[in-house]
C-alpha cells in the first residue's frame, strides 16, 4: 500500500483505507444536562467524589485548586436544577462538621458512572469496527 504525502512531505494516511498511520484513539465527553442548562460531567462527578472522600468542600477545592465561591455556586445551581440535595452540610469546625454526599447523590453518581462506562465501551467497540475492521 502506498501512502499519500501531505504538503509537508509527511506520510499521513494509507491510500486505500483512510486509516491514519499514527496512533489514534477516541475520546468521549459526556454530560447529563439538568433543566436544559446545568451540565454534569466527569469533572463535576470527580469534585463530588472528592468532597465525599475528604469530608468538606473547603478541602476539596484546596486539593483541586478551585474557587470555593465557584464550587458553592455550582452546587447550589445543581441542587436546584436536579431537585434534590447532593450534600449534607454540617457547619462548624469540629469533627462532625463538613459535607457528606446524600444517599440521592451517591445513587446519582453510581448511575452516572454506570452510564459513562457503558458509553465508553460502546464507543470503543464502534471505534474498533470503524478504524480497524476485521
3-state secondary structure of 26: coil
Q: What is the pLDDT of residues 44-59, one digit of tens each?
A: 999 999 999 999 999 9
Element (H, E) at 88: strand 87-90
Average pLDDT over residues 31-47: 93
Query: In the chain, what are the domain boundaries?
Result: 31-128
Distance, CA of 96 to CA of 91 (rounded, Å): 9
Average pLDDT over residues 16-36: 82
Residue at grid coordinates 509537508: 8
**Which carries the bigger pLDDT value, residue 32 or residue 91?**
32
Is 31-128 assigned to CATH 1.10.10.10?
A: yes
CB contact set of 109 (below 8 Å; sequence gap of 6+): 45, 48, 49, 101
Question: In angstroms, what CA-CA distances link 12 with 5, 7, 68, 112?
Answer: 6, 10, 46, 38
pLDDT above 50 (res 12):
no
**C-alpha cell recorded at residue 106:** 451517591
**C-alpha cell recorded at residue 92:** 462548624
Which of 30, 8, 97 is closest to 59 using CA atoms?
A: 97
Average pLDDT over residues 109-133: 93
* Global pTM exceeds 0.85: no
Q: What is the pLDDT of residues 64-120, one digit of tens each?
A: 889 999 999 999 999 999 999 999 988 766 666 789 999 999 999 999 999 999 999
The count of residues in the chain is: 134
Amino acid at each position: 500500500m502506498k501512502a499519500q504525502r501531505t504538503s509537508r512531505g509527511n506520510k499521513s494516511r494509507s491510500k486505500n483505507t483512510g486509516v491514519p498511520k499514527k496512533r489514534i484513539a477516541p475520546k468521549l465527553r459526556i454530560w447529563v444536562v439538568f433543566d436544559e442548562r446545568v451540565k454534569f460531567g466527569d469533572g463535576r462527578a470527580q469534585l463530588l467524589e472528592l468532597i465525599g472522600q475528604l469530608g468538606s468542600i473547603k478541602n476539596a477545592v484546596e486539593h483541586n485548586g478551585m474557587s470555593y465561591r465557584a464550587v458553592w455556586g455550582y452546587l447550589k445551581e445543581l441542587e436546584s436544577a436536579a431537585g434534590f440535595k447532593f450534600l449534607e452540610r454540617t457547619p462548624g469546625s469540629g469533627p462532625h462538621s463538613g459535607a457528606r454526599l446524600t444517599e440521592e447523590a451517591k445513587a446519582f453518581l453510581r448511575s452516572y458512572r454506570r452510564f459513562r462506562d457503558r458509553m465508553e465501551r460502546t464507543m470503543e467497540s464502534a471505534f474498533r469496527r470503524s478504524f480497524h475492521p476485521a
